[in-house]
Amino acid sequence: MPLPSSFDFSTLSLLMRNPLARLAALVLASASALLSQQAVHTSQTSGVYEIRTNDDARSLALLESFDVLGCCSGHVQALAHTRNGVYRVVAHGEEEARLLRAFPAARLMERGRPFADIVRERAAASPSSPPDGNYFTTSEIEAELLALEQKYPAIAKRIDLQAFTQTAKTHENRTIWALKVSTNVAVEEDEPQALIAGQHHARELNSPYMVLRAAQRVLEGQATDPTLQKVVREGALWFVPTVNPDGVEAVWNIDNYWRKNRRVVNGVARGVDLNRNYPFRWGACGASSNATSQTYMGPSPASEPETQTMMAFARKLRFEKYLDFHSYGQDVLDTYSPCTSSSYPGSKLLAFHNLYRDRLAQATGYNTRTPSASGEAPEWHWAENGTMSFLVEVGTAFQPPFTSTVTEEIRVWPAVREFLTWTPSFRGHVTSLRSAAPLEATIAVQDFAFSFGETTRTASSGRLHLWAPEGARSITCAAPSHDSAPLSVTAPRFGTTSSLDPVLVPTLPAISVTAPATLPVGRTASIDLDAGEPNRDYWMPMALGSSPAIPIGPRSLALAADPIFWLSTTPLPGFYTGNVGRTDASGKASATFSFPNEPIFIGWRFWFAAVTFEPGWPLGVRAIAAPTSVQLVR
């Protein structure tokens, strides 16, 4: 029979990838058809349902189609067998109705409500314990960041990220705030950058606490802790407690289970899952195209103002490393989503990433796992900028009693401190050969053989970072209007950093020198230059050999610096003239070479090359032509 109109077509393609899920899709469709006429009560807030099923196919379909608490893509097969057939699912609006049509025996356990009400109830029940109001509202986050700036004005500054990146406010006209920590905090310096962020998902109230406490610990500890002193002295740290301020307001005032932002669709605030909205591998797995879904990926990649701000932020600063706090699960996630990592089985790249992932896991005692989906922030940061990026799921609930979150942060801090000490395999700058101008360049590691266009990009200052496993590596550095440069480098041992400062040559018109292969003694030859540029000063040197070449910055002039070479710096009447001058309107010039009619010179070979000049280049040499030779004959 045909699928009913109420069936979630957005998950159909995902379900069809798995044989068990294929059967489950038919089961869900049948249940949906039978109940299509049944009135289903839904609310303006989220419902938390308990669903019991020991059917593997239905379990798998549930895990892949709905927001199952404690679930992750990549572990769904295991979860289907280890949860004893009991699942807790959050659904809202039309998605809730769809869940109940598919699982009519689902039992409502809890209805979302303003978290402010929950705070008051907890305070009344335990008046002697710290109030759960210590979780932060958006205004409290703003105030806390300002307080840190005022307490540490020399090294801390609160930043309006939309103003900083010239991007739009959120759907409800709110600001995303950051705290910058650096020794010269008021100045945008050319220095390594690191980012710690939280709360892409609004209901995860314990995640911004991790970010704020990290900032507090750095600021408090840098006065006496040599490690933190070094971190602050050598770079800039950025802390963004909440990426989703609109959603946080909804959590406090409407629905404590609200997950998404507050995009309005057809007059209703349905929202977009911000951690499914990043462009890299958008919609490839673990996300929904249905606007009612908790994992709605948005109408297009980077459709949301919050995503756009965070992307512009990253593109402006090109972070070396990124830590993204979520809840819950006590897990450190791989950088790549399962549908992306499958393209790199057993690769050096994944093994290298896992070294850093495992250090975070060891510092916290957390487990490791694959992410829930593609289109997540850490995967995009790595693919876009070569930023070493990880997502950490803290705690065992979204909004546990605040004392639990305080305890969890103590457990997490050693991993944050570990993260702050990381340095990439290479640091340096990419510059142009002309005037040493900084270049925004891309750096690709050929050994990684990326399948999806991942790359490392430099900042506008030319500042580069590159993460690579120890050993010999082949890389290519490229920038607009410059010749790409293949380089062979040796990455240092894990945890250490080497310098890398590529110099790229601007792409120039082709330049060439031509001459007859042979010249009878006593005759005259024309040595012709085509510089490709009119009215350009030139020199056509000559020598008795083409090696060893003469270095000119990173390039070389393939002539030997013999006496003939130095004599040719000026015209030599009767022997070599026209060798110094300016190209004509067509970019051409000619020199005249002649030699006495003396048999003793038969067999001699002379080499000719050319250079053009412009200020700002090494030795003022703009372009270099490859040499050609003339042999004297009878």
The answer to whether residues 198 and 274 belong to one domain is yes
Contact call for residues 115 and 256 (beta carbons, < 8 A) = yes
- Tell me which amino acid residue 622 is: R
State pLDDT tens for residues 263-294. Answer: 998 787 789 999 999 999 999 988 999 999 99
Query: What is the CA angle 327-69-278, rounded to 5?
Result: 60
The neighbour count for residue 103, using CB atoms within 10 Å, is 21
The answer to whether residues 383 and 446 belong to one domain is no
The CATH number linked to 479 is: 2.60.40.1120
From the number of C-beta atoms within 10 Å of its C-beta (0-12, 13-18, 19+), residue 300 rates as: exposed
pLDDT at site 19: 42
pLDDT of 557 above 80: yes
pLDDT at site 131: 62
The CATH number linked to 547 is: 2.60.40.10
CA dist 16 and 286 (Å) reads: 13
The answer to whether residues 203 and 289 belong to one domain is yes
- Cross-strand pairs, 531: none
Q: What is the DSSP string of 490-544?
A: EE-STT--EE---EEPBP----EEE--SEEETT-EEEEEEE-SSTT-EEE--EES
- How many residues are given for the chain? 634
Q: Which of these, 437, 421, 362, lies nearest to 392 by C-alpha position?
A: 362
The answer to whether residues 498 and 522 belong to one domain is no
- 438-471: string of b/e by CB count within 10 Å (b at 16+)? bbbbbbbbebbeeeeebbbbbbebbbbbbbbbee
The neighbour count for residue 229, using CB atoms within 10 Å, is 14
**Pairing state of beta strands 498-499 and 426-429?**
parallel
The answer to whether residues 173 and 319 belong to one domain is yes
Give a yes or no: residue 83 inside a domain.
Answer: yes
Give a yes or no: residue 454 inside a domain.
Answer: yes
Give the whole-number percent of the chain exceeding pLDDT 90. Answer: 80
DSSP assigned state of 545: -
State pLDDT tens for residues 329-361. Answer: 999 999 999 888 888 866 788 899 999 999 999
pLDDT at site 495: 92
Give a yes or no: residue 130 inside a domain.
Answer: no
Binned at pLDDT 50, 70 and 90, residue 71 comes out as: low
State pLDDT tens for residues 579-599. Answer: 999 999 999 999 999 988 999
Q: What mean pLDDT do residues 419-447 have? A: 96
pTM over 0.85: yes
The answer to whether residues 335 and 274 belong to one domain is yes
- Tell me which amino acid residue 341 is: S
**Cβ neighbours for 364, distance < 8 A, ≥ 6 positions apart:** 330, 332, 392, 411, 412, 414, 415
- Tell me which amino acid residue 383 is: A
pLDDT at site 21: 43
pLDDT of 31 above 80: no
Task: Please state the φ and ψ torsions of residue 94, each to the nearest 5 degrees.
Answer: -60, -30
Sign of CA dihedral 3, 4, 9, 14: negative
CA dist 442 and 604 (Å) reads: 47
Q: What is the DSSP string of 171-214?
A: TTSPPPEEEEE-TTTTS--S--EEEEEE-SSTT-THHHHHHHHH
Q: What mean pLDDT do residues 469-498 have? A: 96
pLDDT at site 65: 81
The CATH number linked to 415 is: 3.40.630.10
Q: Among the listed ranges 12-16, 105-109, 513-517, which one has the minimum average pLDDT value?
A: 12-16
The answer to whether residues 75 and 101 belong to one domain is yes
pLDDT of 18 above 70: no
Q: Which of these, 435, 623, 626, lies nearest to 515 by C-alpha position?
A: 626
The answer to whether residues 252 and 184 belong to one domain is yes
Give a yes or no: residue 180 inside a domain.
Answer: yes
Give a yes or no: residue 117 inside a domain.
Answer: no
**Pairing state of beta strands 518-520 and 621-633?**
parallel
Contact call for residues 384 and 280 (beta carbons, < 8 A) = yes
From the number of C-beta atoms within 10 Å of its C-beta (0-12, 13-18, 19+), residue 500 rates as: buried
State pLDDT tens for residues 371-411. Answer: 989 999 999 999 999 999 999 999 999 999 999 999 999 99
Give a yes or no: residue 124 inside a domain.
Answer: no
The answer to whether residues 250 and 191 belong to one domain is yes
The answer to whether residues 374 and 494 belong to one domain is no
Give a yes or no: residue 33 inside a domain.
Answer: yes
CA dist 245 and 140 (Å) reads: 11
The better pLDDT of the pair 467, 345 is held by 467
CA dist 165 and 90 (Å) reads: 35
Of 421, 454, 482, the position where a domain reaches its end is 421
**Cβ neighbours for 558, distance < 8 A, ≥ 6 positions apart:** 546, 547, 549, 609, 626, 627
State pLDDT tens for residues 210-259. Answer: 999 999 999 999 999 999 999 999 999 999 999 999 999 999 999 999 99
The answer to whether residues 230 and 306 belong to one domain is yes
SS3 assignment, position 48 = strand
Give a yes or no: residue 132 inside a domain.
Answer: no
Binned at pLDDT 50, 70 and 90, residue 14 comes out as: very low
Q: Among the listed ranges 31-40, 90-99, 481-490, 530-539, which one has the minimum average pLDDT value?
A: 31-40
The answer to whether residues 491 and 560 belong to one domain is no
Indicate the number of domains in the chain: 4
CA dist 262 and 245 (Å) reads: 9
Strands, E, within 319-439: which ranges? 321-326, 331-333, 367-369, 388-393, 426-429, 431-432
Of 370, 396, 421, the position where a domain reaches its end is 421
Of 374, 397, 421, the position where a domain reaches its end is 421
CA dist 27 and 242 (Å) reads: 40
Q: Taking phi first (over 0 means left), then psi (-120 to 50 degrees means alpha), and beta for anything else, what does residue 539 get? A: beta
pLDDT of 76 above 60: no
pLDDT of 560 above 80: yes
Query: What is the CA angle 508-509-513, rounded to 5?
Result: 115
Mean pLDDT computed over every residue of the chain: 90
Gap between the terminal Cα atoms of the chain: 95
Domain that holds residue 94: 9-111
- Tell me which amino acid residue 214 is: A
State pLDDT tens for residues 486-516. Answer: 999 999 999 999 999 999 999 999 999 999 9
